[in-house]
Chains A and B, each alone.
Chain A
Amino acid sequence: MNPPPSPLLELHDVHVSFTAGKHARSGSPIARAVDGVDLSVDRGEIVALVGESGCGKTTLARAILGLEQPGRGQIRFDGEALPRSSKGLRAYRRRAQMVFQDPTGALNPRQTIYESVAEGLRIHKIDGDEEELVAGALSRSGLRPPEQFFLRYPHEISGGQRQRVVIAGAMALEPALLVADEPVASLDASVRGEIIRLMLGLVEQTNIAMLVVTHDLGLAWNIADRVAVMYLGRIVEVGPTEQVLDAPKHPYTEALLSVVPETKRMEQQILQGEPPDPTRVPEGCRFHPRCPAFANGEAARLGIAARCESEDPQPISVGPNHAAACHRNTASAAEPPGTAHGT
């Protein structure tokens, strides 16, 4: 019934909104945290979801794991809509695992490494020899010999080893999808490389699909096959990593790239203020109030300024598998997109 090979994870027009406050009355503002997202992640593929804090990337990750219910739109996993029953969700969460930023917080300080990894196996009632499964997971995560780690506590191992334990706990369940939220943000330079190498190796060996949620464009460049840039609940640019990060087609991507400390080739475009409020998504292009191309007159020169203020740009193709939602890319051919900027 299913059309042959569909991506493992597919999102269509996904919306997640919240009413502000626990005891919100009708008429309270609604935060459109995820506001119409299309995205796919395939087996053996690493997709980086990048954006500022508050852009909705964590809410999107939670929706993918079935922790938030989309108000509209659809999430399909392995060709089927996400289950809604708690039993169905439990089975699903075995196949879709999550790794968080802070390994110290993710591990119970009073539990041995063995217990931490075995916990998931017990919850999901995985068949087989528990000790063997734990040992296998630890050793695949580079903690060798695994027996040496069984009885140790989180505080007795290094930060990098802790993150390996967290990854081992997730991988022990042999998931098809791993969602990693800032997996290296709290780690040292040396450990960072190790964990990245571990994640790349896992994808190669197990053909797992990986969604890496991060604000670190360096990490995206290190690890991802494709990059999706999120702004205020929407994916504003998506495409192959080399394209998006080396030849961006959305002014927001350009601004993010320009503030990466080691990128010396661009003039810094420090966007003022915090990411805007998802309870008040601007009219027209949601980025236009902070858009450097709008503010510096480029949009006016291209004759698109009025559209920026009134018309919500849809993603359009700007190259092979590369799409961006910016009116600049549909402006007159007199000044092709991508040449008027980025010097």
Chain B
Amino acid sequence: MSAVEAAGTRGGVGPILSVRDLHVSYETREGPVPAVRGISFDLGPGETLGIAGESGCGKSSMAAAVLRLLPPEAVVSGEVRLDGEDVFAMTPGRLRAVRWTEAAIIFQGAMHALNPVWKVKHQIGEAIELHDPKAAGKTRARVDELLEQVGLPARRAEAYPHQLSGGQRQRVMIAMALACRPRLLIADEPTTALDVMVQAQVLALLAELQTDLGLAMVFITHDLSVLTSCCRELAIMYAGRIVERGPSHQVFVDPRHPYTRALAAAFPTVGDPRFRKAPLGLPGDPPDPRARPDGCPFTPRCPDAQSECSAEEPNLRVAGPGREAACVLVGRTR
């Protein structure tokens, strides 16, 4: 930790985001409930990581922990470094500066987060001026530039949120997230409420921004098929841990963990007769974090479970070039 001490590395070649052994649990009357149980990854400039899993797998807690956005009853341990700087050691002032300027986050249903009585130009302008008081005179020019970047005509700056469609509001949110030129964008279910064509537009926009601005991106969703189309790397979470990761297309078409296989099958391929009138999917529910089964937590739902699976929880192990999976069957012939 001490060897690469923070400040000097900004703009260096190290990862933008480095997460080490992150744990999050929530204090409840019945005791602590673990939500994230030891997650580590690095994300370099311009890299994209997709994180997929069902509700309750800990993916949103993980995202919120990275920018210290969790409620007070959350207990966090491990290490998160943004551009080399320890996020958990930041003062509140430093943290406020870092959110938006270093890392911005777009939440699910974020388009409902716009203030209904403010024009678009004021919403975006506020984000700019709060973080860069010197920008005052140039705010409007920057607003127009941002709107153009997200594919909205500059005249939309005069609109109120209710005058925009869902897709346009989501673009405004993306423009706000980009207002302070962050190097990392965390998007939590950014397209979930949008319909297919608008989703495709927003995904294409994010991909374009990612290339043009060299943004690093963490993309979180339950929809595995969306991730494969916009992320190079994919991590699958189950019961608070990463159970598989690797290049996204490979993970989707040739999963190594039985959970990934079930999750991928839950999304029908249009045109594939196997999915006609027969949704493949995942029987059962994810484990209750208060009563996680012993051993591998996927065992009760796993079609390939062995007797040894309930004995010990497997760690990630190498499952091919650039690939890892946390399953005892990895490397064995089935």
Q: How far is the CA of A189 from the CA of B55 in the complex (A)?
A: 9
Chain B 143-178: CB-based contact to A (< 8 A → 1; otherwise 0):
000000000000000000000011110000000000
Report A161 CB to chain B, min CB distance, Å: 9
Q: For residue A190, which residues in chain B have a CB less than 8 angstroms away from its CB?
A: 54, 262-263, 266, 281-286
Query: Which residue from chain B places its CB closest to the CB of A259 in the assembled complex?
Result: B200
Q: For residue B275, which residues in chain A have a CB less than 8 angstroms away from its CB?
A: 218, 221-222
Q: How far is the CA of A215 from the CA of B286 in the complex (A)?
A: 27
**Known contacts A189-B224, A218-B268: A270-B276 contact under CB 8 Å:** no
Q: Is B118 an interface residue (CB 8 A)?
A: no
**Known contacts A190-B285, A192-B279, A261-B225: A270-B196 contact under CB 8 Å:** no
**Known contacts A215-B195, A221-B276: A193-B271 contact under CB 8 Å:** no
Q: For residue A241, which residues in chain B have a CB less than 8 angstroms away from its CB?
A: 276
Let me know if A193 and B281 touch, CB within 8 A.
yes
Cβ contact of B270, chosen from A189, A257, A268, cutoff 8 A: A257
Q: For residue B281, which residues in chain A have a CB less than 8 angstroms away from its CB?
A: 189-190, 192-194, 197
Q: How far is the CA of A179 from the CA of B15 in the complex (A)?
A: 50
Interface size on A, residues (CB 8 A): 42
Interface residues in B38-79 (C-beta closer than 8 Å to A): 54-55
Q: Is B97 an interface residue (CB 8 A)?
A: no
Interface of B is mostly: loop
Q: For residue A274, which residues in chain B have a CB less than 8 angstroms away from its CB?
A: 165, 167-168, 198
Let me know if B269 and A215 touch, CB within 8 A.
no
Q: Is A64 an interface residue (CB 8 A)?
A: no
Of the four ranges (under 10, 10 to 19, 20 to 34, 35 or more), the interface on chain B belongs to 35 or more
Report B105 CB to chain A, min CB distance, Å: 21
Let me know if A260 and B270 touch, CB within 8 A.
yes
Report B17 CB to chain A, min CB distance, Å: 25
**Known contacts A216-B196, A256-B196, A268-B200: A189-B267 contact under CB 8 Å:** yes
Q: How far is the CA of A261 from the CA of B52 in the complex (A)?
A: 15
Let me know if A189 and B266 touch, CB within 8 A.
yes
Q: For residue A127, which residues in chain B have a CB less than 8 angstroms away from its CB?
A: none
Q: How far is the CA of A50 from the CA of B55 in the complex (A)?
A: 26
Interface residues in B172-220 (C-beta closer than 8 Å to A): 195-201, 203-204
Let me know if A222 and B197 touch, CB within 8 A.
no
Q: Is A291 an interface residue (CB 8 A)?
A: no
Interface residues in A293-332 (C-beta closer than 8 Å to B): none
Let me know if A221 and B270 touch, CB within 8 A.
yes
Q: For residue A197, which residues in chain B have a CB less than 8 angstroms away from its CB?
A: 279, 281
Let me know if A270 and B267 touch, CB within 8 A.
no
Q: Is B280 an interface residue (CB 8 A)?
A: yes
Q: For residue B270, which residues in chain A have a CB less than 8 angstroms away from its CB?
A: 217-218, 221, 245-246, 257, 260, 262-263
Q: Can you list 8 A-B pairs, Cβ within 8 angstroms, ordered by A?
A: A189-B281, A197-B281, A221-B268, A246-B271, A259-B199, A260-B196, A261-B226, A261-B228
Top 4 A-B pairs, shortest CB-CB distance: A193-B281, A189-B266, A259-B200, A190-B282
